Structure 1
């Protein structure tokens, strides 16, 4: 399944560039169908809780506590865990899999490979925290409507993140070269499978998410 079909079916967007520190609550400016989402914007908060700190609705320590809790939330099996989702080469090799991180995207072996993500797991903002965010947003609107109207109201917030094992499928003529690359790089052992003239390697899930679900802050509620 390609990225567009995956989005239409599950309302989950593939993250266009791997961000190792991406956490729930991240503010994003969506580019729509034709542009990639923007994860940074001048003058805008990085995470929703940063906006609450700026208006003295919570302390910086409380902000850090929320984000740390989001980072350590356990992952559960995703609704689409049985699907295979195609990845762009550059995105696949940045997903925190040590054996893939050093691959050169310009190599013929890599350019002709097929990358997919499998066995997806995910995590989402818990209901209790959605209620807290909803109440804090109401307080922020009441305190500084103009700032909210020209900033956060137009943004999205990441409410779900998804992770998965990465599969690379290559022509058997590249098998020895990829085996050598894998052997030279520390990391969990890949599961290798030969089918006809193709060879597939499946690497365990890393800590970098491949997909996200966003909600428009304007319409966010608990």
Structure 2
């Protein structure tokens, strides 16, 4: 990743796209390199520009954001995908988890959260808007209380340091940021993250982040 994350923005609603672009443009450390109004164009532009982050609306014409995300993840391993969602699209977020997206941001959320999310996924971290995470967790099979109980039991088997690392993964921090926060070397953090994923039996950071949210390890914000 470059020190200045390069972003592809895709949303079929002109006003929404303009608003998100304005927020991103306000941060001199983020560069919007291309914009698309449908999923097929988003894939084409991603392959042409190879951005650090593809920021995709879930619902788009021609090819929806979920299918576009899957294609970008499959063909461009150097591009992280973050989905723009609304409260009514929790089921889509759950499906996107399996498609390789590592960021889930609320369209009506805080602009700071959008910027933090873009930076997080560009750095290789997972980022879930706290409100999106709560709604996704509520909608998952088993109910919120049961899943919270299960998540607390799973995280209870981690060491105190592993739980600390997991909480920071859930907060959207990259390995480098976790290392700085905990005064560790980045290689040590990478080893902790790998151990956490294995012990929780999850495939990636975003699934670990959901467990962290379910277990109450992250700030409910």
TM over 0.5: no
Of structures 1 and 2, the one with the larger relative CO (CA 8 A, separation 6+) is 1
Q: Which has the larger radius of gyration?
A: 1
Name the TM-score, length of structure 2 as normaliser: 0.24
Q: TM-score of the superposition, structure 1-length normalised?
A: 0.24
Determine which structure has the larger helix proportion and give its number: 2
Structure with the higher strand share, 1 or 2: 1
